[in-house]
Structure 1
Amino acid sequence: MTHDGSRNVSSSSGNPYRKEGLRGPLISGFGAMSHIRRKLSSFEEYWRASKAWERQGLPLGTGRALANAGFLKVDDLRSANALELASIPRVGRKSLAILHKLANRTQARP
């Protein structure tokens, strides 16, 4: 508060924590470019999806990362582009090669 009892607000929105000139939250990185995939509704669904990926030859950690990213079935892989798959945490080169094979596409060599 200022000395006359009024609040010192930095923007017209009334939020003193919002900097002037910003219209919304700043989103950067690849996550802002990808479309929103279906979120899991329960731990049981998450666990089933993770184990299904493990049965396909992927490590359990990669299966969990895919389930967290909304990839529950092989059809979900086919709808994703290569950059989206490569940007999922815990998906390394070997797992990425398996994913491309499952999606029936060839992996581009760097």
Structure 2
Amino acid sequence: MENYEAYFMIGGGLNALGKLIVVLACGILLLKQRNLGTVLMFSGSVLSIILGLGFLLLSTFSAQEGPESVLNTNALGSILTPLPYILFAIGLLLFAAKQVKK
């Protein structure tokens, strides 16, 4: 019998580690070059952690209300979760365009 709980815990830990590394890298970029691209990248990476934790807590509380509440929470999460990544991608695009001009 597989221990799926351990797989999910390891996967969640790796996901959190990756997000923290991206926030650290964006923070270093922001300190070295403060422009709209680096601000958007940093904001998007921090917002992805905040939203991830927020929806984890919201899902936990909504599970106590019942399946309809969990479904509503997941629907909201499917709309809001990509927004930080879109911010990050726009910032990366702006940053890359500025670097190519140099």
- When normalised by structure 1's length, the TM-score is 0.25
- Larger-gyration structure (1/2): 1
Structure number with higher helix proportion: 2
Q: Which one scores higher on RCO, CA 8 angstroms, separation ≥ 6?
A: 2
Query: With structure 2 as the length reference, what TM-score do the two structures score?
Result: 0.26
